[in-house]
Structure 1
């Protein structure tokens, strides 16, 4: 039986405290025997990619790590199925086929006791973030996430392309939903955001290319030297 850990990238911000508290409450209620820990780095600008890499890298190769954003609630059964599958299948697993963003209205309903699956929401098509389930061996076989994506924006989309290219398949989705709670959105503009956008364009150009993609991943200062293709 693989050891399971839930890791939450987290740097306190006033508008995110309520969502974070609800996430902790959810895990205490639904997965009381699974360790939940928060992780941050010493970067001046919050670096969620680096947090995720450090969280996964702290565990053993066969452990299962649930990377749970501090504003996103999974469904228990879907999460448990994804955890079981991640221990057996060489791919990162997303425990949802439907990503529901509540916004202020849906989050207020949830806070008032309305069941999550009955709250108002906006469907986010193509979402690949929020909750991911992986083993360290799988995570670093495709380079993890590129820590040059500092601040907010593009790190998940680039990671998805790296996963599909290096492992020969997209992340595996488990039928279910996740629910993203409301908070003040991060600013998506400025010098760092523009740098992220330029790096994302390079990932798009390298998608599907098993020569260019590992070279791009390896440029990151903290890239793991564990890139491997399917069947290796």
Structure 2
């Protein structure tokens, strides 16, 4: 089953802590999930264009199931097999309900160890929370088919930097392919790094304006298709 999977990882080298995390996560896939095809999408734009990086990774992929995964996230391999089994009934799957931020101390310890599952050490972590407690993250790890990814033309590269591209992907997928299924009882782990966040993106207001157009077209297939096709103009 896992030999049908291409893992798409967006990446931009920083010659610092992010590269260290990325190398560890890449080794995690080699050690723990050797069956999957790991495809790295490297975007050198400034600020980093995550959408472009995911799309570049997708162009390298040869498998029929896509796992869109951040380069600082890892998880129990079983969440992938559970998610893949659900793709017959659901257009896409968010294979976790809990996002745990690993502490700096535990991250440093993990980075000093050979990646494996289960953990070689006791890991300290804290659940990611939001002001709106009803909100749950929709990125980190996402599972869908190559067909559905292509049906919405991947990620919208007009989102410059980071922020809102995942929300637009969600609305396009839900509208044109079908709603997602979340595995509430599963967990992903996010390695510690210096926080930047969308507020550090000088283009976040432009991203918000573009995303508002996606939000206004939820459930409107013709309108959503037209918005997506604008990317080719």
With the length of structure 1 as denominator, give the TM-score of the two structures. Answer: 0.80
Secondary structure of residue in 1 paired with 2:125: coil
Aligned partner of 1:185 in structure 2 is 195
* C-alpha distance in 1 between matches for 2:44 and 2:22: 20
How far residue 42 of structure 1 moved from its aligned partner, in angstroms, is: 5.2
- For structure 1, the 5+ residue unaligned runs are 223-232
Report the Cα offset of residue 25 of structure 1.
2.7
Q: Please give the per-residue CA displacement for 1:38-87, whole angstroms capped at 9, x wherever unaligned.
A: 22135343211122223224435x6112222111112111122223444x
Which residue pairs with 2:148 in the alignment? 138
- Asked if structure 1 preserves the Cα contact closer than 8 Å seen for 2:162 and 2:201, the reply is no
Q: Offset of 1:159 from its aligned partner?
A: 1.0
Bigger shift: 153-162 or 17-26? 17-26
Q: Is the 8 A contact 1:78 1:95 kept in 2?
A: yes
SS of the aligned residue for 1:81 comes to helix
For 1:201, the equivalent position in structure 2 comes to 212
Q: Spell out, residue by residue over 1:116-142, the C-alpha distance to the aligned partner (whole angstroms, 9 max, x if none).
A: 885221334410111122222111223
Structure 2 gaps, min length 5: 114-118, 130-134
RMSD: 2.7
Using the size of structure 2 for normalisation, the TM-score is 0.80
Mapped partners of 1:191, 1:167: distance in 2? 32
Distance in 1 of aligned mates of 2:121 and 2:96: 14
The one of 16, 26, 29 equivalent to 2:28 is 26
Measured in 2, the distance between the counterparts of 1:122 and 1:59 equals: 32
Aligned length: 219
